Amino acid sequence: MTTFSKIAAVACVLSCSVSTPVLAQASSSEEEIAALRAELARLASRLEQLEGELAKTNQTANEAASAAASAVDVAAAAQTSAQQPAADIAFKGAPSISTESGWSFKPRGRANLDFGFVNAPSSTGADSGFDAEARRIRLGVSGDIPGGFGYKIEADFAENQVALTDAIITYEDDGLTLTAGQHNNFQSMEELTSSLNTSFIERAAFTDAFGFERRLGFSGAYKTDILLLQAGIFADNSEDLPNGNTSVDARVVVAPKLGDTQLHFGSSIHYNDLGNNNSVRYRQRPLVHFTDNRFINTGNMSATSELGVGFEAAAISGPFHIALEAYSQNVNRPGALADPSFFGASAEIGLFLTEGDNRGYKLGTFDRVKPENPVGEGGKGALQVNLRYDYLDLNSGAIIGGTQDSVQASLIWTLTDYTRLLFNYGLLSYDDAAFSTAAGDTSYDVHVAGIRAQVDF
């Protein structure tokens, strides 16, 4: 029964109880009846007021319930959003942030810290003894942009100087990669393999002697499962521009697999118009970079252009690898001057002593070593031994720059995917060296040892 019904019933009872004695006794006055009727009217008015307040209360309660339900829905949506973030974060030496829309961002860097000594005949004045340097201190960023685009910017802070290394924008589509900016041109597998992944502290001598470096330009690369084609046109390194220097470079790599053995065969060509530069100089340090003494050196010679041709081969089979390279550098000189030709080559073999480890490879270059049992996860990392024969001949006709004939050994301890220790030794034999002994001898041996501590992210 509603409140209104209850009050109506009470009013009825009151009316009946009042009317009955009036009719029965006929002694009540008109005033009493009027008073009762007024009271009844007041009660009816109060009843309507209570009904209105009740309706408002019900409306307020319904609105509150609706608001609570909306709040629950909002909270549930927020929780779902928190469980499904807009960006994914992975850790690959450093945080790598990516989104479903195609954006990504990753900080990157490396530190190569070198120590060691160079022991040459003391009377040459080139006996460096112990020395050390921060060989590379690099910081940068890389990532992807929706639509198939990417970017990479990196600078080197070693030797208290800032030098731009890579600064590129890329576009990729179905095996094709277009690159604009400062990057490596296409000379030698050894040169294109990252310094993080080489078998020795420094690359084969010819790669430095013949001036392989990053240049500002535009290039394209096309790859399949086993084929890589690369070509580009470049100016000089950004630090040396403008100078009119222009190079055209191309490289082809075929990398089939024979069972579990990864094979690599490649060839490259490099033509460099020297532009405003009218001379070149080829020279080389003894294995390590922390000495400024170059025991072979052509000195400056007039030139208009360079033409280089290289051949490369490699194989990886389980813990074993082998790599062979040869490179010829020809110099075009003005007028009737003879055009000299110089030559460099290297051959290396390597073996992992730890079970399950092998040298990494991606199409065209050696890649990162990832220990099967890294330090920090109950393992001892990966141990690798390497031997290399490295030859460089800077003698040609009237140009006597000397020859460097060396046997080198390295022990590499790769503790984790991103940390390595390298121990190197080299016995370098020189003829026609740039430094002579007190007795005038230019043929002698130099002993070199180097240690590198390396980390990257």
- Residue reference for tokens 């024979």: 258
Q: Cα dist. 440→100, 129, 168, 401, 432 in Å? A: 69, 22, 50, 16, 11
DSSP 173-240: ETTEEEEEEEEE-S--HHHHS-TTS-SSSS--HHHHHTT--EEEEEEEEEE-SSEEEEEEEE---GGG
**Element at 149 (helix H, strand E):** strand 149-156
Non-local CB neighbours of 16 within 8 Å, separated by 6+ positions? none
Non-local CB neighbours of 379 within 8 Å, separated by 6+ positions? 371, 372, 373
pLDDT the model gives residue 113: 98
pLDDT the model gives residue 53: 72
Q: How confident is the model at residue 170 (pLDDT cuts 50, 70, 90)?
A: very high
Determine contact, residues 408/390, Cβ cutoff 8 Å: yes
- Label residue 84 left, alpha or beta by phi (over 0 means left) and psi (-120 to 50 means alpha): beta
Is the pLDDT confidence value at 85 over 70? Answer: no
Q: What percent of the chain has pLDDT over 70?
A: 87
pLDDT the model gives residue 23: 38
Is the pLDDT confidence value at 302 over 80? Answer: yes
Q: How confident is the model at residue 187 (pLDDT cuts 50, 70, 90)?
A: very high
Of 450, 364, 401, the C-alpha closest to 209 is 401
- Residue reference for tokens 């009218």: 278
Q: What percent of the chain has pLDDT over 90?
A: 77
pLDDT the model gives residue 30: 76
pLDDT the model gives residue 27: 47
Average pLDDT, the chain: 90
Bridge-based pairing of strands 176-184 and 214-223 is antiparallel
- Residue reference for tokens 């370098």: 428
Query: 309: which DSSP letter?
Result: E
Of 275, 267, 332, 324, the C-alpha closest to 306 is 332
Is the pLDDT confidence value at 448 over 60? Answer: yes
Give the pair of three-digit tokens for residue 186: 């296409």
The rounded distance, in Å, linking the Cα atoms of 95 and 98 is 10
The rounded distance, in Å, linking the Cα atoms of 32 and 36 is 6
Q: Is the peptide bond before 242 cis (omega within 30 degrees of 0)?
A: yes
As a whole number of Å, the CA-based R_g of the chain is: 42
Q: How confident is the model at residue 8 (pLDDT cuts 50, 70, 90)?
A: very low
Domain boundaries, the chain: 3-83, 108-456
pTM assigned to the model: 0.80
Give the pair of three-digit tokens for residue 63: 């609105």
The rounded distance, in Å, linking the Cα atoms of 125 and 438 is 9
The rounded distance, in Å, linking the Cα atoms of 431 and 444 is 7
Torsion angle in degrees (nearest 10) through CA of 201, 206, 208, 212: -120
The rounded distance, in Å, linking the Cα atoms of 287 and 391 is 11
Topology of the domain comprising 108-456:
Porin (2.40.160)
Q: Which amino acid is at 265?
A: F
Of 361, 371, 408, 375, the C-alpha closest to 255 is 361
The rounded distance, in Å, linking the Cα atoms of 416 and 407 is 28
Is the pLDDT confidence value at 199 over 50? Answer: yes
Q: Cα dist. 357→11, 200, 410, 421 in Å? A: 100, 18, 17, 16
Q: What is the mean pLDDT of residues 278-307?
A: 96
pLDDT the model gives residue 77: 57
